[in-house]
């Protein structure tokens, strides 16, 4: 989370959330009794299954919808989802891996300077909001590329977007705006 020698920022992806469908009905009780690393939550109607490699946690519904969280790249999310589908096939379900989609990417990076959040929100008024009583960060919501950015006064930035490309484009877009609002040392 620090800047390189060439002046580039390191964007560290901390979580990739993906969904896919199995195109078959899943018996959650069977998965809970016969599967490995599972937690059955009948009150929520889900089974939580964890994989060790890649490190992924999946919420499984009986309808066949599965949400995978915890991956550190889009490729790792797809690999984990396919491994999960294979585990369900081994339990006797006729799973067909379909409708895979990365729905959310969370990343962070550190700017090489501290930021004046009040100046940042004044200069970017309709898009940026800052409520210090509610949250210590300023929120900057972009429509193109679609992303939400939380900017902290320390220079730490958290980015949420639908893909890794959107996250990278959002950082490139917001960097000049943040450098205008540097806090004097």
**Band (116; pLDDT cuts 50, 70, 90):** very high
- How far apart (Å, rounded) are the C-alpha atoms in residues 78 and 88? 15
Q: Which long-range contacts (CB under 8 A, 24 or more apart) does 145-151 make?
A: 145/169, 145/170, 145/173, 149/174, 151/115, 151/117, 151/120, 151/178
> Quick one: tokens of 70?
């915890």
Q: Are residues 99 and 133 in the same domain?
A: no
Domain end marker among 105, 134, 149: 105
Q: Are strands 12-21 and 128-130 parallel, antiparallel or unpaired?
A: unpaired
Alpha carbon distances (Å) from 168 to 22, 76, 159: 31, 18, 9
Tally the residues of the chain.
185
Interval 102-111 mean pLDDT = 96
Whether residue 1 is contained in a domain is answered as no
pLDDT tens for 70-80 read 999 999 999 99
Domain end marker among 105, 139, 171: 105
What's the total number of domains in the chain? 2
The DSSP secondary structure of 68-102, one letter per residue, reads EEEESSHHHHHHHHHHHHHHHHHTT-----EEEEE
Q: Are residues 77 and 44 in the same domain?
A: yes
- How far apart (Å, rounded) are the C-alpha atoms in residues 19 and 98? 9
Interval 76-103 mean pLDDT = 96
Whether residue 88 is contained in a domain is answered as yes
Residue 85 is predicted with a pLDDT of 96
Q: Are residues 71 and 138 in the same domain?
A: no
Which CATH number do you get for residue 58? Answer: 3.30.310.10
The secondary structure of residue 115, as a DSSP letter, is B
Whether residue 2 is contained in a domain is answered as no
- Which domain range does residue 35 map to? 16-105
Whether residue 62 is contained in a domain is answered as yes
Q: Are residues 35 and 63 in the same domain?
A: yes
pLDDT tens for 39-83 read 999 999 999 999 999 999 999 999 999 999 999 999 999 999 999
| pLDDT over 50 at 6, yes or no | no
pTM: 0.88
**Band (171; pLDDT cuts 50, 70, 90):** very high
Q: Are residues 101 and 115 in the same domain?
A: no
| pLDDT over 90 at 2, yes or no | no
């Amino acid at each position: 989370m620090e800047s390189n020698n060439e002046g580039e920022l390191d964007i560290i992806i901390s979580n990739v959330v993906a969904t896919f469908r199995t195109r078959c009905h899943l018996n959650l009780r069977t998965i809970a009794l016969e599967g490995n690393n599972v937690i059955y939550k009948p009150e929520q109607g889900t089974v939580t299954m964890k994989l060790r490699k890649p490190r992924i946690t999946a919420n499984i519904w009986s309808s066949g919808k599965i949400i995978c969280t915890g991956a550190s790249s889009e490729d790792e999310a797809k690999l984990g989802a396919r491994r999960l589908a294979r585990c369900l096939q081994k339990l006797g379900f006729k799973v067909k891996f379909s409708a895979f989609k990365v729905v959310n990417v969370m990343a962070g990076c550190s700017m090489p300077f501290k930021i004046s959040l009040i100046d940042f929100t004044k200069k970017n008024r309709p898009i940026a909001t800052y409520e210090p009583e509610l949250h210590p960060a300023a929120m900057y919501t972009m429509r193109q590329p679609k992303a939400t950015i939380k900017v902290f006064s320390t220079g730490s930035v958290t980015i949420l977007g639908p893909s890794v490309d959107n996250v990278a484009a959002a950082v490139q877009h917001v960097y000049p705006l943040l450098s205008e609002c540097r806090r004097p040392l």
